[in-house]
Structure formats: structure tokens, C-alpha cells
Amino acid sequence: MNQPQEKALLELQTLREKYAEKLPGIVKQIESEFKSQFTQPEKSSLEEIYRRVHSLSGSGATFGYTTISKTSRQLEDTIGVLLQKNTLRITKKDQATISKLINKLTDALNENPVQNKNDNALFLELTQLRTPELPSSRTIILIDDELEFCKSLSLQLSSYGYSVKSVVSLDYLEEHLVKEKPLVIIMDIMFPEGNLAGVDAISQTRLSLEHIPPVIFISQRDDLQARLAATRAGGSAYFSKPIDVMRLIDMLDQLISDSTNAPYRVLIIEDDEQLAYYNARLLEGVGIQTKVITDPFKLLEASNHFQPELIIMDLYLPGCDGIELAEILRQQQGYVGTQIIFYSIETNINKHLDALRAGGDDFLVKPLKPHYFVTAIEARAKRSRIVSSFMISDSLTGLYNHGMLNEHLQREFKNAMRKNESLIYAAIDLDHFKNVNDTHGHGAGDMVLISFSRLMRNRFRFTDLIGRYGGEEFSIILPNTKIEKARELLDELRINFSKIEHSFNKKKFTVTCSIGIASTPPCKTIESLQEAADTALYKAKKAGRNCVK
């Protein structure tokens, strides 16, 4: 068990202990509220008791208090019948039933919570799978005995922000992996040691090391036997020589996206504070960013600031219910595509259907075992991001489209003004792009646009916002970045793009770009910021293009 895993288990145990300390007070409060209801019945008070008992049913099950959870569920059913009858009068028979259940709750406080040690083991396994030790740089190990090939491929990959460590033999492979901690291994199959020596080396390394990164096999061979051997050795991809560099970059981006992309953002709406933070810690254990609110009336403020990709909410909350909140969210244009997952002890299928009709995407019933809960939420958050990307992205490049980039600019501008931080806005044009289309065809033009877009994604932080305005026009928003640093980064982008050798229909060519930069301060409005960037871009073109102004 590594240190982050130990910390995760310790924090979860601390939350369990806090819940145990709080539990007697919760039961005492429910008992006191019932006594008041017996003598002075009020519908609002009964509804509040119902919500509190419902919450106890769910949290009790999550923290291992089985008897408390089952007894609370019985209380919840009893109160539910009274509310359905729309009567405030509690008969002596119902009072006796309720008193008996409260006594059972009190007795259950002496029981130790049931904690399945296997749950911890499965959760730790999940955190290990999702959060391996990440390299500090975008390092790739290229293992091939052809030195000139290594030099050529390394130069192409380095233009996209990868640091390539070339190795020309299979000697000391394990030592190289431990030292470099690469994101990906690119391994040739054929070496002087044998026609499948590269495959054999990877298979042997898997027996010795606990974790090795994804492996891309490359080879002059393109026969089924070689591909089958590579697959059996755990290869993630196979490329036959000569290598299609753009396809290789696509595969590298795909393989490392889970470890380098921005974490999923999940908002949790739950009035039981211990339960809310317990669930949040489970998700944080696999790298998901969370925000907890226990007051549903703070939902809109929290959502606008946090911009969640997925929202988890209980069905019963103080002052309103989850169904009403879902309806309010779906009325907001910005949250039409946000995943809403109800997570409640409620088992009534009609309630589930009501929640889905109101805009919920799924209904999970408490309690789920930790590894089930994490896997379920992570899978839905991933799906939410994929669906959202289609709604907000340019179809060719995958970058933000014009409208979404403008929305981000408005939000980041407000943040910069509020925090008194510098915000950079850059306008970019590909130079003489019409000549590319006229000379090589529109297919070549599309290839260049995709290549430039991929280069920008690999070169900038996930907090930076990159979009395509249309044609060969792009924009980048760099939050909290000084003008000097922005100029340095954008000039590196320009230089690296000019080095990329594009190939289409066996013809090779290069393309350059011109960039204009503006910042706050001195710009005080979004309009002046964009105008300043456009003016700087015009100056770059007048200065001969292929420069940053």
C-alpha cells in the first residue's frame, strides 16, 4: 500500500468515526421531534422528520450500521403512509409503533458497525488502477536498433511536446523503465536477438515489474503471427513501417488521455455532511475533483462557479426535493447536457421514474459498495464528457467551437477581473493556408488543421482554453498567465509547428503561423481584449508572417 492509499483509507476512517460520534445526537433529535409531533402535530415538522429519517437510512447503511438503517427505513415507511393520507393525527397505534422503532434505534447505537474488509481491498485496487505514479514529463521510450530511424521519429514526436528517450538495444530495459518512468513504450519487434525479440523482452519485463506503461509495437513485419505475438504480450497498438506519424500521434494521445486530461468534476448535493464528504473522498481517491454542498439553495451559485460535468443528488433535501432541483437545472441552457445522478435509499420505482422524467439520467440506490459507487460515477462522468465534447467542439479539430470559446472567455474574463489576475487572449492564423488547399487539395488542408490543433492541445495546460473560430483561424485563452510567459509559450508553438513536415499524396510540405497577443491589464473589456489581439495579429502578418506580436 502506497502513501496516497494509506492517506485515503485514514481519511475515510476519520469520517466513519465522526459519523459514529454524531449518530447518538441524530437519533435523540428524531426522538425529540416525534414527541413534539405527538402533542403538537404540524405537516412541515412531519415532512422534516421524514427527510431526517430518510437521510439516516441511507447514511446508516453506508457507514455499516445495518440495524439503524433498516429501522430508519421502517420509520420512513410509517411516516410516508401518514403523509400520503394527508393527516396530521397520529393514532395511538401509530405512536406505539413509532416509539418501538425509536427504542430499537437507541438500542442499535450500542452495535458495532459492519465493515467489510474486502470493500477496502477492492477500493484500494481501484485507486491503484486509476492513479498510478505519473511521470513528471511527457516522456516516451523508443526502442529500435536503427539509429537514424530513432532520430527521425524522435524529431517528429518532439514537435508535439513529447520527450523521446531513444534506446538502440534491449539491454537494461527494466532499468530504463524504472529511471525514465515513460508514458508509453514504442518497441520494435525485430532485433539481432530474434525476429520476435522485442515482444519477448516486453513479456519478460511484465513478469519482473509490477506496472509497465502501454506498449506500441512497430515492425517491418505485418503478418498475423507477428501481430498475434504482440497482442499476447499486451501490446496496445501495432504499426508497420514506414510509420504513419499522424496515426501514431493519434494513438499516443489516446493512450495518455486518461492520465493527463483534466479530472472529472462532480458536484455532490447531500444534506448529511459526513455522508457527502465520505462519498467525495471515495471519488477523490481515483482523481475525480469534487465539490460538496449541503444546502440545496446554493446549487446555482456552486454550479456556475464549479461547472460540474456530473451532479449527484439525494432525492430528499431540506426545503425542496431533488426532483424540483433537477427541473430547475434543466431549465438552464448551460446544464441541459450535464449528467444528473440521483443517489438515494428510495426503492419506490415510481419515485425513480418521477426523477428520470424531471431530467435525471440515472437513479442509484444507497448504499453501493465503495468500488461499485466509484466505478459507476466515473463511467458516467466519462460518458458525460464525451457527449459534451460533441456539443461544444468543432467537428474537424475537436477544439472548442466559436460559441463555446466565447462563453469561456466571458467567464475567465470575470474571474481575472475579480482576482486581479492577468488573462491572455491570442489570435492565430495559419499562413497562406489557401495555397495549401489550392496546391495539395482540401484533404491536405484538413490534415494540417488537425495537426495544428493536436499540437496546441499537447503544448498547453488543460486549464488553457483552445478554440477554432473558423477556417484557419484559432484562439487561445491563457488564465493567470503573464504576458512574457505567454509570448514564450506561443513562440515555441510557432517554431514547433514550422518544423512539422506534412505529407499528403506522397508530397511533403511545411506550414507556418502568425500570432497576435493581448492581455488584461491593460485591456479592461472583452471587446478591447479581442480587438487588441486582432491588431497584434495584423502586425504579425505585415511583418512578414511566421512571428508573434
The pLDDT score that the predictor gives to residue 219 is: 92
Cα–Cα distance, 290 to 201 (Å, whole number) = 41
What is the pLDDT confidence band of residue 134, given thresholds at 50, 70 and 90?
Answer: very low
Pick the CATH number of 267-390 from 3.40.50.2300, 3.30.450.40, 1.10.357.10, 2.60.40.2130: 3.40.50.2300
The pLDDT score that the predictor gives to residue 132 is: 45
Q: What is the mean pLDDT of residues 69-96?
A: 81
Q: What is the mean pLDDT of residues 28-43?
A: 82
477-528 tens-digit pLDDT = 999 999 999 999 999 999 989 988 887 777 889 999 999 999 988 988 999 9
Cα–Cα distance, 320 to 41 (Å, whole number) = 21
What is the pLDDT confidence band of residue 124, given thresholds at 50, 70 and 90?
Answer: low
The pLDDT score that the predictor gives to residue 535 is: 94
Query: Does 3 score more than 80 pLDDT?
Result: no
**What pTM did the predictor assign?**
0.61
DSSP classification of residue 522: T
The pLDDT score that the predictor gives to residue 133 is: 46
Lowest pLDDT segment from 253-262, 339-348, 397-406, 464-473:
253-262
346-382 tens-digit pLDDT = 888 999 999 999 999 999 998 888 888 988 998 888 8
The pLDDT score that the predictor gives to residue 353 is: 94
Query: Does 218 score more than 90 pLDDT?
Result: yes
What CATH fold (topology level) applies to the domain 139-260? Rossmann fold (3.40.50)
114 or 310, greater pLDDT: 310
The pLDDT score that the predictor gives to residue 185 is: 93
Distance of CA 266 to the CA centre of its chain: 9
Q: Is residue 411 within 8 Å of 320, Cβ to Cβ? A: no
409-418 tens-digit pLDDT = 988 898 888 8
What is the pLDDT confidence band of residue 388, given thresholds at 50, 70 and 90?
Answer: confident
The pLDDT score that the predictor gives to residue 284 is: 85
Q: What is the mean pLDDT of the chain?
A: 85
The pLDDT score that the predictor gives to residue 5 is: 58
Q: What three-state secondary structure class fits 279?
A: helix
Collect all residues with Cβ–Cβ distance below 8 Å to 437 and sequence separation of at least 6: 444, 445
Asked if 139-260 and 267-390 have one fold, the answer is: yes
Cα–Cα distance, 296 to 303 (Å, whole number) = 11
**Terminal-residue alpha carbon distance, the chain:** 51
Cα–Cα distance, 70 to 61 (Å, whole number) = 8
Query: Does 436 score more than 80 pLDDT?
Result: yes
CATH superfamily of 402-542: Reverse transcriptase/Diguanylate cyclase domain (3.30.70.270)
Q: Which of 12-26, 374-388, 471-485 holds the top average pLDDT?
A: 471-485
Cα–Cα distance, 264 to 456 (Å, whole number) = 21
What residues does each domain of the chain span? 23-108, 139-260, 267-390, 402-542
Pick the CATH number of 23-108 from 1.10.3470, 1.20.120, 2.60.40, 3.40.50: 1.20.120
Distance of CA 18 to the CA centre of its chain: 29
72-107 burial code (b ≥16 CB/10 A, e <16):
bbbbbebbeebeeeeeeebeeeeeeebeebbebbbe
Q: Which amino acid is at 79?
A: I
